[in-house]
Amino acid sequence: MNKKKYISLAFKSATIQINELKKIKKVLNNSFIKAVDLILNCKGKVIFAGVGKSGLIARKVSATFSSVGIPSFFCHPSEALHGDMGQIEKKDILIIFSYSGNTTELTNMLKYANRYRIKIIGVASKSDSLLFKASDVKLLLPKVKEADITGMVPTSSTSISLLVGDCLATTAMYQKNFSKEKFKIFHPGGNIGKSLLLAKDIMVDGSKMPTVDYKSSFKKVLKIINEKKLGVVVILKNKFIKGLITDGDLRRDFKNLNRKDSFDDYITKVPQIVNISMTASKALAIMNEKKITSLLVVSDKDITKKNKKLIGIIHIHSLLQSGIK
């Protein structure tokens, strides 16, 4: 086979799935609203279940729910028969994925849930299925064209099942006013965690900050720059930021330093200042754009004021050590 045909075949498969996913509109109805309300009002855990490909979809959606602060876990129907059913309580809800809705392994789990009046959200493609008969809320998946040459391999059907689960998660997130800050709490690791780091997470603060009063001696400025090892010193007047001096400013006029009594000539009167809730990645972008190595940090309230109080300093080394790119 011509290897270029690989691309055309993949594109054809992708196009079929993209077109089939547009049928999601048929699922976004009153039943979907009821499902979201049930999730938001759940006093316990949101438990997902499914078998085979549907089980894999259920696992992924459960992980998404957990990562956005909705307590959730996956329970395999077969394992439930051997004791795991005890994890399911009356205050929980079950979200069960089964494209056919007639998977035999689900029978005992459905009986258990109905017996103890545990709410079930069923996600299936057959309205007369075993799953739908036992479900309190029924999310009917549309019939879709599979994207392989036989038209039988679960492709579009698994994609639309996953999309339904993600829509439930993102809608619930919105209603719960879920923010980037909250997401960082549940997802501190990896590239996502790094991208959500804020200025306050990586800044130097307190006694580690290189600061001097504007009335200080030139000798003290030099002393602080050497001691704090950030390559800068912030000049304060009545505790407000007056300016910034970098070791580069001093090195460029090294020959004249011994003859200077004042440091006014070296002050950058309009230093780059950012607010404490700025993301670390944005801070790095500013440094790269301005070709500087430090940013002064102030509170969100002070950022718009003329007089600003220093609460921290971000150095480019801190950003790079944190893995920010």
Q: For the domain that residue 94 is a member of, what is the CATH number?
A: 3.40.50.10490
- Domain co-membership, 148 together with 276: no
For residue 238, give both structure tokens.
């009545």
In a domain, 187, yes or no: no
Structural domain harbouring 89: 4-178
Provide the pLDDT for residue 10: 92
- Domain co-membership, 205 together with 174: no
Q: Which of 202-211, 220-229, 247-256 has the highest mean pLDDT?
A: 202-211
Separation of alpha carbons 122 and 102, rounded Å: 11
Domain boundary among 143, 178, 213: 178
In a domain, 184, yes or no: no
In a domain, 191, yes or no: no
Separation of alpha carbons 272 and 7, rounded Å: 48
Q: What is the mean pLDDT of residues 114-129?
A: 95
Q: Please say whether the beta carbons of 136 and 116 come within 8 A.
A: no
Provide the pLDDT for residue 260: 55
Query: How many structural domains are present in the chain?
Result: 2
Separation of alpha carbons 232 and 34, rounded Å: 58
Provide the pLDDT for residue 82: 74
Separation of alpha carbons 245 and 225, rounded Å: 9
Nearest partner of 165 among 131, 110, 123, judged by Cα: 123
**Average per-residue pLDDT in the chain?**
87
In a domain, 21, yes or no: yes
- Domain co-membership, 207 together with 168: no
- Domain co-membership, 127 together with 218: no
- Domain co-membership, 205 together with 128: no
Q: Is the predicted pLDDT of residue 189 greater than 80, yes or no?
A: no
- Domain co-membership, 160 together with 204: no
Cα-flanking dihedrals φ and ψ of residue 285, to 5°? -60, -40
- Domain co-membership, 140 together with 251: no
* Whole-structure pTM value: 0.67
In a domain, 298, yes or no: yes
* Cβ neighbours of 204 (radius 10 Å): 17
- Domain co-membership, 101 together with 65: yes
- Domain co-membership, 126 together with 239: no
- Domain co-membership, 116 together with 243: no
Query: How sure is the predictor about 246, in pLDDT bands with cuts at 50, 70 and 90?
Result: confident
Provide the pLDDT for residue 146: 95
pLDDT in tens, 67-91: 888 999 999 988 877 777 878 899 9
In a domain, 192, yes or no: no
Q: Long-range contacts for 199-202 (Cβ within 8 Å, ≥24 apart)?
A: 199/274, 199/275, 199/276, 199/277, 199/278, 199/279, 199/280, 199/283, 199/295, 199/297, 199/312, 199/314, 200/276, 200/277, 200/297, 200/312, 201/280, 201/322, 202/280, 202/314, 202/318, 202/319, 202/322, 202/324
- Domain co-membership, 143 together with 205: no
In which residue are the tokens 């056919």 written?
Answer: 100
* Cβ neighbours of 106 (radius 10 Å): 27
pLDDT in tens, 16-33: 999 999 999 999 999 999
- Domain co-membership, 59 together with 110: yes
Reading across the β-sheet that carries 46-50, which strands appear in turn? 72-74, 46-50, 93-97, 119-124, 137-140
